[in-house]
Amino acid sequence: MSWQPSEQGLQEVLGMLRDTSSTDSEVQRNVAQRLDQLRFVPDFLAYLAHVLIHCTGEQDSHRAVAGLLLKNAVNQRSGPATNDNDARAMAYVKSTVLNGLADPDQIVRQTVGTVITSLISNEEPGGWPEALDALTKGMGSSDPNIIEGAFNSLQKICEDAPHKLDFEIQGKNLLDHLVPQFIDYTAHGAQKIRLYALQILQSLLAIRVSAVTANIDIYIQALFAKAADESADIRKCVCASLGLILGTRPDKLVPEMSNVVDYIAFCTSDEDDTVALEACEFWLTFAEDSTLKDQLRPYLPKIAPLLLKGMVYSDWDIAILDIDDVDEGVADKDTDIKPRNYSSKVHSTHESNDPSSSKSAGGGLSREAQDKAFDENEDNLDDEDEDDEDYFDDEDGSGEWNIRKCSAAALDVIAVSFGNDLLEILLPYLRDRIFDSEWTQRESGILALGAIAEGCIDGLEQHLPQLIPFLLKTLQDKKALVRSITCWTLGRYASWCVHVNQTDKNQYFIPTMEGLLQMVLDGNKRVQEAGCSAFATLEEEAGPEMAPYLEPILRNLTFAFSKYQQKNLLILYDAIGTLADSVGSALGAPGYLDILMPPLVERWQRLGDQDPDLVPLLECLSSISIAAGGSFSTYTGPVYQRCLNIIHATLTQYQLFDQNPEEVEEPDRTFIVVALDLLSGLVQGLGEQMHPLIRDNQPPLLHLLALCLTHFEPPVRQSAHALLGDMSMTCFPLLKPVIPQILPSVIEQIVVEPPADCISVCNNAAWAVGEIALQFNGDSAILEPYVPALIQRLVPILLNTKSPKSLTENAAVTIGRLGLVCPALVAPDLSNFAQAWCTALWEIKDNDEKDSAFRGFCMLISANPEGIQNAFIFFCNAVCKWQHPSSQLDQMFRTILQGFKSGLGATWDAQTSTFPPVIRQRLAERYGV
């Protein structure tokens, strides 16, 4: 029998739906609890479908709520019906909701489309033929409500689950049948149907459906036909679709490029901002495709002025952002402060010998504090490029992607591609803009100057001796938005200001530093933010060159604590941490911490252990402790104890949460992660001075560390392994007794192709093992039982082409260090990994970590000379790439090479004759072989 509602059940459901609009919180809570109980009851779904379709006397909003609840319940259920009641209820739901396509109320029809999409999403492709039949027939109905209902549903399906339409009917793919119809409907008389058809095609084009590609020519003709449509939504869709075609089938647009450019140029100035933004996105897509460079070049004179025009603040922007007041005393609203994800530290990115590898970060193989460069879930640890949207999102702090930011991002990309060719076109416009009497024009010109900084620097260099003083003078502009964009643009030229010759530093570098410090103390919060961010950029570029000016810098930055509200304090912490990273041990000189620490200590004492504002302060203190080293000892005790307390308290909260997740809120892992990272900073900076604290303070750090090494949250394990490695270097006597208890869990983290959120854990674990191994040099008995398991895990990582570069390098270093300490256990496997090992490390710059790895590798060769035979040329290449090996390593290279030459005798020349000439030359010059 088909399902039928009972009157009592129907009235209960209707009463509950009516209660959803109640303003009484108690009523709302009761409704939520009842809904939670009912959502898996089959009959409840049927009742909701009945109300949505048949209870036409109810308020449309209540019917729509029934539909949304039905959609949610469908999504929460998975798999086929498990009993007759379930099957009967779902059959009723499916047959009933299709009637809603004809409902006269638009909200109800659209809700029905959402329900149909959810039902189809939970079926196999073609698993609900009645629905697809109703939708395809509905497209041609004479009832406008049914046509709109069908297209609305199809648009949602194509957006959310297009693969569900990818199946064959009578030997032909459904989409091959539908796509030509969708193209025809782009010319429909009803605006909504035209838009739905275009949106459907756009969704299918975005996932490269073959049926769209097969009909691409008539699709493009249809887009051109709608280019001047009266609907802004349709014009926006045309721009977006042309952008997608440009990205997927540019060959189809090239013959029409002149017309396309004219159209997009026209839309870039559309009075509707959504159309103009979509058109601007087209320029960004065009600029980012290097294969279209020659196609873009002829249109630069047309595009560049349009982008400049798009960079002028709109009236809406000005209404929101144009505040010239001294507003530093006005407390930030909660909405002003964006959520901030703390990224734990990663032992990665190794600096390369290859001059083309300009993106490498860090000063060598040892673990770098990549706080800002890596996200916790990053799956490519070598890529530090910022997305254009994120990059230009910072220049005005409004947080919304808009025409201005898109235009600036597009100009930046075009500048990188075309350099001086673009500059020649822009210069007359820029001159007019930056000297314009209208501040909005002047401001946009300065933004443009910053946007082209990277790409046009060669051509701009001759102008910078005039432009930098002009920008410094502009820091005094009465308009806060002009001052703030000038800070941002000066930050973009920080590298030039820093790297001018010594005689010009007084003219450019020092005035830039002083000008930005003045902006750090500006009375306007937006200017403070821009000044502080730009000053941090200058610090990064200048590095140790900031050291002679530390006292005035510190006095300015610490004075800012008395002026800044919460949002800018976060940026101030970052600027101080960056300063510490930049000047290093110079910060530990007498007097500097006396200036820097009082305001930090004052905030430290004011903030509770669970206050989110404590996180950036701890992060900042980590950088200070590493830089200042022993000079930080005055503050070490309280900082160390608080870190212990935070870790202990958070682990306790996790334990309570595990026992009762229903009632106990999950703790914020950020606190434990940042506390572990600060402990790493203390251990790195103070070394043996930490031993008494670690030995005597409670709760015991080693116990907490062991718990963190096996914590279920990857970022906690990541930071725990970083701390383990740092302690191995400076606190090994304390660590050594517990190594047998700790090492098995560390080994478990070293896996081939770890999940994306565990790559950094694996990285740090591999690195930490290498640091531990070094400490056992000469006394390896404790380590030896674990070496076979480590080699079984590290070698596959080294051989796997999918391993991130940094993980491959860390695996190679640790294999080398295990070879240094336990050569007899590692040497038998040498032939398996020798070639990959040499390849992984030969481009890395010389440093102590690389040196220890290569010394270990040489010991493996000495223990198993046959193991290197098939990779001998790779070893020779790796040897030749060393610039300044230590005397010990240099002698090891000499002994091995001369030993092979002696052993091979007359065949040496024949074997090395296949080597590239540069290798033969260097081997002869350096090692006489």
Instruction: Give 600 or 59, the one with higher predicted confidence.
Output: 600
Residue 807 covered by a domain: yes
At residue 397 the predicted structure's pLDDT band, cuts being 50, 70 and 90, is low
Residues 111, 67 contacting (CB under 8 angstroms): yes
- Tell me how far the alpha carbon of residue 365 is from its chain's centroid: 23
Is the pLDDT at 675 greater than 60, yes or no? yes
| Number of structural domains the chain divides into | 2
Residue 801 in 3-state DSSP?
Answer: coil
Residue 368 in 3-state DSSP?
Answer: strand
pLDDT digit string, tens, across residues 488-507: 999 999 999 999 988 888 99
Identity of the highest mean pLDDT range in 81-90, 380-389, 775-784: 775-784
Q: What pLDDT score was predicted for residue 357?
A: 35
Q: What pLDDT score was predicted for residue 838?
A: 97
Q: What pLDDT score was predicted for residue 345?
A: 65
At residue 44 the predicted structure's pLDDT band, cuts being 50, 70 and 90, is confident
- Spatial separation of the C-alpha atoms in residues 799 and 782, rounded to whole Å: 28
At residue 335 the predicted structure's pLDDT band, cuts being 50, 70 and 90, is confident
Mean pLDDT in residue range 114-127: 91
332: exposed, middle or buried (Cβ count in 10 Å: 0-12, 13-18, 19+): middle
- Spatial separation of the C-alpha atoms in residues 418 and 496, rounded to whole Å: 20
| Residue 586: CATH number of its domain | 1.25.10.10
At residue 388 the predicted structure's pLDDT band, cuts being 50, 70 and 90, is very low
Residue 840 covered by a domain: yes
Residue 891 covered by a domain: yes
Q: How far is CA 379 from CA 154, 582, 757, in A?
A: 35, 27, 7
**pTM across the whole model:** 0.82
pLDDT digit string, tens, across residues 398-455: 568 899 999 999 999 999 999 999 999 999 999 999 999 999 999 999 999 999 999 9
Q: pLDDT exceeding 70 applies to what percent of the chain?
A: 92
At residue 608 the predicted structure's pLDDT band, cuts being 50, 70 and 90, is very high
- Spatial separation of the C-alpha atoms in residues 151 and 192, rounded to whole Å: 9
Mean pLDDT in residue range 792-813: 96
Q: What pLDDT score was predicted for residue 666?
A: 92
Query: Over the chain, what is the mean pLDDT?
Result: 90
Q: What pLDDT score was predicted for residue 355?
A: 37
Q: Of 567, 601, 632, which marks where a domain is finished?
A: 632
Identity of the highest mean pLDDT range in 328-342, 528-542, 901-915: 528-542
For helices 257-268 and 232-248, the axis angle rounded to 10 degrees is 140
Mean pLDDT in residue range 1-8: 79
Instruction: Give 61 or 751, the one with higher predicted confidence.
Output: 751
Residue 69 in 3-state DSSP?
Answer: helix
Mean pLDDT in residue range 226-247: 95
Q: Of 616, 632, 648, which marks where a domain is finished?
A: 632
Instruction: Give 348 or 373, the one with higher predicted confidence.
Output: 348
Residues 197, 139 contacting (CB under 8 angstroms): no
At residue 900 the predicted structure's pLDDT band, cuts being 50, 70 and 90, is very high
Residue 654 covered by a domain: no
pLDDT digit string, tens, across residues 875-894: 999 999 999 999 999 999 99
| Helical ranges in 731-829 per DSSP H | 732-735, 739-748, 759-775, 787-799, 805-821, 823-826
Residue 426 covered by a domain: no
Residue 96 covered by a domain: no
Residue 467 covered by a domain: no
Q: Which of 270, 190, 192, 183 has its CA nearest to residue 225?
A: 183
Is the pLDDT at 334 greater than 80, yes or no? no
Is the pLDDT at 381 greater than 70, yes or no? no
- Tell me how far the alpha carbon of residue 217 is from its chain's centroid: 37
Q: Of 601, 632, 663, which marks where a domain is finished?
A: 632
Q: Which of 725, 634, 637 has its CA nearest to residue 677?
A: 725
Q: How many CB atoms lie within 10 A of CB 32?
A: 11
- Spatial separation of the C-alpha atoms in residues 81 and 89, rounded to whole Å: 9
Residue 460 covered by a domain: no
Q: What pLDDT score was predicted for residue 379?
A: 31
Its domain, for residue 827, covers: 785-928
Q: What pLDDT score was predicted for residue 84?
A: 67
Q: What pLDDT score was predicted for residue 350?
A: 55
Is the pLDDT at 371 greater than 90, yes or no? no
- Spatial separation of the C-alpha atoms in residues 822 and 769, rounded to whole Å: 13
Q: Which of 94, 14, 7, 96 has its CA nearest to residue 61?
A: 14
| DSSP H or E stretch at residue 173 | strand 172-173
At residue 79 the predicted structure's pLDDT band, cuts being 50, 70 and 90, is low
Length of the chain measured in residues: 929
- Spatial separation of the C-alpha atoms in residues 345 and 328, rounded to whole Å: 33
What is the phi-psi region of residue 402: left when phi exceeds 0, alpha when psi lies from -120 to 50, beta otherwise?
Answer: beta
At residue 389 the predicted structure's pLDDT band, cuts being 50, 70 and 90, is very low
Mean pLDDT in residue range 723-730: 96
Question: Using the 8-state DSSP alphabet, how is residue 613 labeled?
Answer: T
Q: What pLDDT score was predicted for residue 399?
A: 65
pLDDT digit string, tens, across residues 785-801: 999 999 999 999 999 99
Give 808's contacts (C-beta < 8 A, 6+ positions apart): 797, 798, 800, 840
User: For residue 168, what are the β-bridge partners?
Assistant: 173
Q: What pLDDT score was predicted for residue 12?
A: 82
Mean pLDDT in residue range 142-157: 95
Is the pLDDT at 81 greater than 60, yes or no? no
